[in-house]
């Protein structure tokens, strides 16, 4: 369980438009999502927030600190989360990603997420389209 404070600090380093402390606190209190983190020398440098509702998981956010990218940390986080989802009997996985976000798209496609839609002007900060992805656990 990561401290909300550490996650907020990391969010600020990674996103211009980031979740607030209140959003994290409420989500965690309601058990609406879970957070996996990765630390280097005690410092939180990456995290993945996801939900599991009945048999569907959704990746809500994934970020690695700019100084720690391209070292396989996001890959490690995503692999750990997918393992938990398998153990918990998830059938499908969902996520959305900005269409300009080539690093994240490459990562998700590498893990077997398949593009199944687009939402026009979905993101409030850039008004970019969202690409929608799905993962089929039952097809493994
Ligand atoms: C996307 C992000 C989490 C990747 O983190 P990371 O720890 O650097 O990723 P990894 O080192 O585990 O790389 C895993 C794979 O992602 C892809 N990838 C990561 N960075 C990439 C880049 N700059 N360009 C192209 N592909 C990239 C590659 O497929 C890579 O595999 P490879 O190293 O074998 O080629 C990181 O760039 C980030 O925090 N970005 C800002 C936040 C964000 O956009 N989050 C996603 C929201 S949906």
Tell whether ligand 1 has an atom less than 6 A from the beta carbon of residue 18: no
Fold classification of 4-139 is: Aminopeptidase (3.40.630)
pLDDT (tens, 9 = 90+) of the chain, 140 residues, equals 568 899 999 998 888 878 888 888 888 888 889 999 999 999 999 999 999 999 999 999 999 999 999 999 999 999 999 999 999 999 999 999 999 999 999 999 999 999 999 999 999 889 999 999 999 999 88
Q: How far is CA 1 from the centre of its chain?
A: 16
Residue spans per domain, the chain: 4-139
Tell whether ligand 1 has an atom less than 6 A from the beta carbon of residue 98: no
Question: Residue 110's pLDDT is what?
Answer: 98
Question: Residue 54's pLDDT is what?
Answer: 95
Q: Determine the atom of ligand 1 nearest the C-alpha atom of 106.
A: 29
Question: Residue 18's pLDDT is what?
Answer: 80
User: DSSP code of 77?
Assistant: H
Tell whether ligand 1 has an atom less than 6 A from the beta carbon of residue 73: yes
Question: Residue 140's pLDDT is what?
Answer: 81
Q: Determine the atom of ligand 1 nearest the C-alpha atom of 96.
A: 48
Q: How far is CA 46 from the centre of its chain?
A: 10
- Element housing 95 (H / E): strand 92-98
Of all protein residues, whose CA lies closest to atom 48 belonging to ligand 1?
97
DSSP string, 118-140: EETT--TTT-PPEEEEEEEGGG-
Q: In what order do the strands lie in the sheet with 34-40?
A: 34-40, 43-53, 56-64, 92-98, 130-136, 114-119
Distance 95 CA to ligand 1 centre (A): 15
Distance 74 CA to ligand 1 centre (A): 6
CB 62 within 8 A of CB 25: no
Of all protein residues, whose CA lies closest to atom 21 belonging to ligand 1?
103
Of all protein residues, whose CA lies closest to atom 12 belonging to ligand 1?
72
Question: Residue 2's pLDDT is what?
Answer: 67
User: Degrees (nearest 5) of the Cα angle 91, 81, 111?
Assistant: 75
């Amino acid at each position: 369980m990561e401290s909300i404070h550490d996650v907020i600090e990391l969010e600020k380093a990674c996103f211009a438009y980031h979740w607030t402390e209140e959003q994290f606190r409420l989500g965690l209190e309601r058990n609406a999502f879970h957070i996996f983190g990765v630390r280097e020398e005690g410092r939180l440098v990456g995290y993945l927030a996801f939900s599991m509702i009945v048999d569907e998981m959704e990746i809500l956010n994934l970020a690695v600190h700019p100084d720690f990218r391209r070292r396989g940390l996001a890959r490690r986080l995503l692999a750990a989360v997918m393992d938990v989802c398998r153990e918990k009997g998830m059938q499908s996985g969902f996520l959305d990603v900005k269409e300009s976000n080539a690093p994240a798209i490459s990562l998700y496609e590498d893990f077997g997420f398949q593009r199944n839609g687009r939402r026009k002007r979905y993101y409030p900060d850039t008004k970019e389209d969202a690409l929608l992805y799905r993962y089929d656990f039952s097809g493994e």
